[in-house]
Amino acid sequence: MFISIQNVCFSYPNTGKPALDQFSMNIEKGEVISILGRSGSGKSTILRLLAGLEKPTEGSLTIQDEVLFDGNTFLQPEKRGIGMVFQDYALFPHMTVGENILFGLFQLKKSDKKKRLQEVLELVELQDYEKRYPHQLSGGQQQRVAIARAIAPNPHLILLDEPFSNLDAELQVKIRKDLREILKKANITSIFVTHDENDAHALADRIVKLKDGCIDLIGRPCDLIGIHPHPVPQVTPMIEERELMSV
Ligand SMILES: Nc1ncnc2c1ncn2[C@@H]1O[C@H](COP(=O)(O)OP(=O)(O)OP(=O)(O)O)[C@@H](O)[C@H]1O
Ligand SMILES: [Mg+2]
């Protein structure tokens, strides 16, 4: 297996309840995983822990046999080979599309940088936009630049936090199809967070449902259709019972 996440626990300082409790799952190379859950269920927290922006109180993360964190190890975010796409895309406004994408490629030779830039621009179909600035792009195009920037250094994993929340409904449907194609074409392993069941079903190979910091369910979209995660409480048949008793 490509990625192993085991028993990750975390509490924010001065809070009584853990934000994440015993989060475990294995992920195959190239899989698209969706983390689905209500506001406050811990979705962004698991991404922050995987990216190294928070330190877990317990648990481990291994990618291709390299330990990123466990009881003894804590690799700094920049050493993890994990890309991140934030909700607001966080593009550098004073840099062109090309410069934004090149930002993460500082380790490459000049000729390799140029080649990689053209590859990812093609992947997200923005070949003609290299010289534009973020404010000269639509929301969907900005999102594709953010994805291109995250993918360019060939990360082991990319994390996307609510990638569709700034898009209108029509664009959202188109972009989620594009995003799946981009991720699959590049064979990039990814985890994206959403609170929208339709996004998760349209995009993911597997869905993880989070509730109050705990995994409620994991399954393929087709396995989860119609599943009620919690038993529906039985309504006590008061009237019938009383009637029976009076018989
Ligand atoms: N910096 C923080 N300090 C204290 N508690 C926090 C902090 N950030 C988040 N929390 C709490 O941790 C829990 C999980 O938060 P998280 O941001 O992971 O939720 P989420 O599922 O991403 O929600 P949303 O859909 O609203 O983005 C929540 O109860 C939240 O209040
Ligand atoms: Mg969040």
Q: Whose CA is nearest to atom 16 of ligand 1?
A: 42
| Residues 244, 175: Cα–Cα separation, whole Å | 59
> Per mean pLDDT, which of 54-63, 133-142, 158-167 is the most reliable?
54-63
Q: Whose CA is nearest to atom 3 of ligand 1?
A: 12
Average pLDDT for the chain: 88
Residues forming beta bridges with residue 26, ordered by sequence position: 4
Q: Whose CA is nearest to atom 28 of ligand 1?
A: 40
pLDDT of residue 204 exceeding 60, the answer is yes
Tokens of 132: 């534009």
pLDDT of residue 165 exceeding 80, the answer is no
Torsion of CA 112, 114, 116, 119, to 10 degrees: -140
Find the farthest-apart pair of alpha carbons in the chain and give their distance in angstroms, rounded.
90
| φ and ψ at residue 205, rounded to 5 degrees | -80, -40
Q: How far is the CA of 49 from the centre of ligand 2 (A)?
A: 13
> Quick one: which ligand is closest to 48's CA?
1
Pocket test for ligand 1, best of 14, 20, 44, 87 (most atoms within 8 A of CB): 44
Region 87-97: mean pLDDT is: 90
pLDDT of residue 234 exceeding 50, the answer is no
Q: Whose CA is nearest to atom 2 of ligand 1?
A: 12
Confidence of residue 238 (pLDDT cuts 50, 70, 90): very low
Q: How far is the CA of 154 from the centre of ligand 2 (A)?
A: 25
Ligand 1 pocket, residue 186 CB under 6 Å: no
Provide the whole-model pTM: 0.86
Confidence of residue 221 (pLDDT cuts 50, 70, 90): very high
| Least confident segment among 56-65, 124-133, 160-169, 201-210 | 160-169
Confidence of residue 146 (pLDDT cuts 50, 70, 90): very high
Region 119-137: mean pLDDT is: 93
Query: Greater confidence, 198 or 245?
Result: 198
